[in-house]
Structure 1
Amino acid sequence: MICGFDYGTSNCAIGIEEDGKVRLVPLEGTNTFLPSTLYALDRDLISESVARNLTDPQARALFVEQRRLILSRAQRVRREEDIASDEQTLFFGRAAFSEYYQWPEDGYFVKSPKSFLGGSGLREQHIHFFEDVVTAMMQNIKQQAEKNLGQEITHTVIGRPVNFQGIDSEASNRQALDILTTAGKRAGFKEIEFLYEPIAAGLDFEAKMTQNQTVLVVDIGGGTTDCAMVKMGPDFASKEDRSADFLGHTGERIGGNDLDIRVAGKHLMPLFGMDSNLKTGLPMPTQLYWNAVTTNDVTALATFNSLETKLQIEQLRLDASEPKLLERFLHLREEKHNYHLVRNAEEAKIALSDQQEHKALLDYIEKGLNCSISRDQFSHSIQPPLEKMLTLMSEAIKQAGVQPDVIYMTGGSAKSPVIREAIQHRIGDVPVLDGDHFGSVAAGLTVWAKRIFR
């Protein structure tokens, strides 16, 4: 069976074609979108799960040999923690969030691993770790889809951003695609192809077009923003080679997660001492606060979790004019609530698409602790990443040498009226149309999969 696979930064989805129509397959109960999260009772149990779910004996033997030390540690964890062989050790999607919220300090939580795949300076053990995280997630998604469909999925087209990272994009893209390919093969896909995500989103849109137009496709994903200027419509849809129809494309590692980080830093972190003063009257150092919420940066997270940062916060508590705020910050760090805080920021971003004000509740930190954020405040705080997104759109238009007839928006953050208003102000009087903000990419990948694997 053939599918389109949107392995997204924020959510994952699988699409298939039935009776000439694309439909998304439920992956978690009736939900067709699975949050890109994983919670493990212990980090080494991720690799163990991969080994257990490898169906090819030769591939399994090779993997066991490559991960021998990790798998030995996993067995030791099982003995020491009295974890039965049939006990669930990995949780995905909403279940992963639930486990993390309940036991943040006890297990290992990963959100949006796709953000890290193109990271520069990753050592071999880091690459192997991300291979295992992505494989475990893909194994779960493929198994859930096949259980729902009642048959095996063998061929897939996986979406990819234009660039996974901004620094040395060629090497970054190669590294990320290698990890995704390795994971996909270990998950059991026999044939894997890749397609740019904005092009996939455009293919879904094109299927509904009744006239030829030049379209600026803007896909604001969780980890990246990708733009493509494409000639689309009835005269182009059936063409096998579309290379001449793509007039320009841009992409950068700036997406919805970066908006969440800005909201967390600007609006929630002041509750933990950011923007307060020391007893000397000097401002509180801010970098350790940004390290706490920059959950899409391995280096920032490692620094925040280091002993050096703990000692720095303890010293700042002694030097602070408001030590209670620093005590909260220490509590947040010790209990590993920083992911939860960024999740609060994401919820605020989503809510402010439909309402003018949102109250973020932080009772898990301290009873009654909350923060109200208005849409205007949200707009002001996200200006730096928003400006980068607008620049990508302008560059794609410049590459094409023509103005778009229409702008087609997809991706979760594209729903925000703040972003839409900024786009119309920058691009001009061009109609802005909405796609399925979460399903367009998966649908387009499915259309392309049927075309190339037929």
Structure 2
Amino acid sequence: MTASPIPDFCAIDFGTSNSAIAVPDARGAMRLVPLEDGAVTMPTATFYLAEGPGLQDLPRLHGRAALAAYVEGSEGRLMRSMKSALGTGLMTQQTDIGAGRAIGFAEVISGYLRHLRRAAELHTGVAPRRAVIGRPVHFVDEDAQRDALAQATLEQAAREAGFEEVAFQFEPLAAAFDHESRIDAEQRVLIADIGGGTSDFSIVRVGPQRRDRIDRADDVLAHHGLHVAGTDFDRRVELAAVMPALGFGALGPSIGGQPPREVPSRVYFDLATWHLINTVYRPARLQELRMMRGDYADPVQHARLMKVVGDQLGHDLLGRAERAKIDTAAGEAARIDLAWVERGLAVEVTAQQAREALEEDIGRIVEAARETVRRAGLSADGIDAVYFTGGSTGLKALTERLAAAFPQAQALHGDRLASVASGLGLDAGRRFRQPG
């Protein structure tokens, strides 16, 4: 018996922190593509090389290889969290990638999507022509025009990557499809999809009698979300525990008998925001920061800041804060070694510090979940299950608070990094698979 040809469609979870792609196999089932060393997810990261041959062709690395090149000190430019730039003014700008070259953010995104498409082709032998791509409930909070522009920009990037037909699906609804594939009774489920860039919620009717429907509009009772998630947690931890060593929140000298003023803080927020870090390295900004030396009562703090900025260590610093967030989530204190900034320098982050730093964001996320239930016309008792997915649902303090808000609901955990991609694959199969 001759195997059927593999269809030319796929599903892409283009995440703020991690991405994945699903394709049909020879039997028609959707499967996640191994991307790096057998892993079916890879960091959403690209490193543009600024040394070696063929620089005019924009040689680049993706995923873990991109992060490794940065950590190893290769000459070039690391791009992370590029999804966060969608719907912002950054999408119209060029960004320096070294060796006298510049590139637009839209081209960075299309290049990454092209890499995922190529991985699918290598896996199946078929270059996918059609794609379902996941999107957050809101790319941009409370701005419908910019939100629509963000989706249009992502669609154009996908077409430039080689896709001829592009459809979008809400990421939390995709997670609902993944959950639905494993249940045998109807439920009203609250999907809590909390990743690197957004916290998204959907209330969906799911069940074995519904799962084969293509149009699920009647089963979606409410969507809601906000632009607060894992990268915001990283920023909070870094600002609370790390940046004070570099002068954040410090006071300047008293001038003319006047009370001292706090040192300017914008640079610290930019250094703690993944997609803004590189803006601090621009020559004009460096000169501005050098001239701020007199704003510091303690010149050591200014020197530490200039070391981080001058040596372009912002991504490394935020990466250390991210690891400390993960360590403290387990209830342990984390030590962040800053010896590369100043010999012997280190800071400790306690679990209590991290909880206090994240309290405001967690409160906003829990309130967004409650608001989703209100928009569905339900009470908390009307939710049968809360289904957690997304990388940031590994934060126990967050999931415990969300579960406590819906005490009658069953708390369920999907694959934090792959549930959305798997659900998008199910959606793509229903949309694109030809009858018979």
Do both share a fold (TM > 0.5)? yes
* Per-residue deviation, 1:36: 0.8
CA distance in 1, matches of 2:208, 2:358: 38
* Per-residue deviation, 1:306: 5.0
**What letter is aligned with 2:122?**
K
* Per-residue deviation, 1:349: 2.1
Query: 1:28–1:144: 8 Å Cα contact kept in structure 2?
Result: no
CA distance in 2, matches of 1:420, 1:401: 23
Q: Tell me the equivalent position of 2:100.
A: none
Q: Secondary structure at the match of 1:382?
A: helix
Q: Tell me the equivalent position of 1:23.
A: 31
* Per-residue deviation, 1:316: 4.3
Determine whether 1:317 maps to 2:287: no
Query: 1:254–1:389: 8 Å Cα contact kept in structure 2?
Result: yes
Query: 1:268–1:371: 8 Å Cα contact kept in structure 2?
Result: yes
Query: 2:383–2:406: 8 Å Cα contact kept in structure 1?
Result: no
* Per-residue deviation, 1:88: 7.6
* Per-residue deviation, 1:199: 0.2
Query: 1:164–1:176: 8 Å Cα contact kept in structure 2?
Result: yes
Between Structure 1 and Structure 2, the one with more helix by share is: 1
CA distance in 2, matches of 1:451, 1:342: 40
Determine whether 1:232 maps to 2:202: no
Deviations 1:195-240 (A, max 9, x none): 0000001100000011111100010121111100111111221223
Q: Secondary structure at the match of 1:251?
A: strand
Q: 1:102 to 1:363 in 2, by over 3 A?
A: farther
Determine whether 1:108 maps to 2:116: no
Query: 1:228–1:247: 8 Å Cα contact kept in structure 2?
Result: yes
Deviations 1:13-55 (A, max 9, x none): 011244465432111232221111111135xxxxxxxxxxxxx
**What letter is aligned with 2:146?**
S
Q: Tell me the equivalent position of 2:108.
A: 133
Which of 14, 21, 36 is 1:14 aligned to? Answer: 21
Q: Secondary structure at the match of 1:372?
A: strand
Query: 1:229–1:400: 8 Å Cα contact kept in structure 2?
Result: yes
CA distance in 2, matches of 1:339, 1:82: 23
Deviations 1:319-355 (A, max 9, x none): 5333222211001111111111111122222233334
Determine whether 1:375 maps to 2:344: no
| Deviates further, 176-185 or 425-434 | 425-434
Q: 1:274 to 1:85 in 2, by over 3 A?
A: closer
Q: Tell me the equivalent position of 1:424.
A: 403
Determine whether 1:255 maps to 2:236: no
**What letter is aligned with 1:448?**
D
What are structure 1's unaligned runs of at least 5 residues?
A: 43-80
- Equivalent runs, 1:26-425 vs 2, <5 Å: 26-42=34-50, 83-84=53-54, 89-103=59-73, 106-119=75-88, 123=92, 129-168=104-143, 170-280=144-254, 281-297=260-276, 302=279, 304-306=280-282, 309-402=285-378, 403-425=382-404
Query: 2:234–2:325: 8 Å Cα contact kept in structure 1?
Result: yes
CA distance in 2, matches of 1:273, 1:279: 13
Q: Tell me the equivalent position of 2:12.
A: 5
* Per-residue deviation, 1:296: 3.6
Q: 1:206 to 1:26 in 2, by over 3 A?
A: same
Deviations 1:374-423 (A, max 9, x none): 22211110122222211211111001112311110100001111101221
Which of 419, 426, 429 is 1:440 aligned to? Answer: 419
Q: Tell me the equivalent position of 1:46.
A: none
* Per-residue deviation, 1:295: 2.5
CA distance in 2, matches of 1:429, 1:447: 29
* Per-residue deviation, 1:122: 5.2
* Per-residue deviation, 1:450: 0.5
CA distance in 1, matches of 2:193, 2:402: 13
CA distance in 2, matches of 1:123, 1:137: 18
Query: 2:386–2:403: 8 Å Cα contact kept in structure 1?
Result: no
Equivalenced residue count is 410
Query: 2:90–2:105: 8 Å Cα contact kept in structure 1?
Result: no
What are structure 2's unaligned runs of at least 5 residues?
A: 1-7, 96-102, 255-259
CA distance in 1, matches of 2:117, 2:90: 30
Q: Tell me the equivalent position of 2:99.
A: none
* Per-residue deviation, 1:7: 0.8
Q: Secondary structure at the match of 1:210?
A: coil
Q: State the Cα RMSD in Å.
A: 2.5
Query: 1:13–1:32: 8 Å Cα contact kept in structure 2?
Result: yes
Tell me the TM-score normalized by structure 1: 0.83
Tell me the TM-score normalized by structure 2: 0.87
Deviations 1:123-179 (A, max 9, x none): 4768x81221111111112212322333322222110011101142x2222222222
**What letter is aligned with 1:3?**
C
- In the TM superposition, structure 1's runs of 4+ consecutive aligned residues that sit over 6 Å from their partners are 85-88
Query: 1:288–1:309: 8 Å Cα contact kept in structure 2?
Result: no
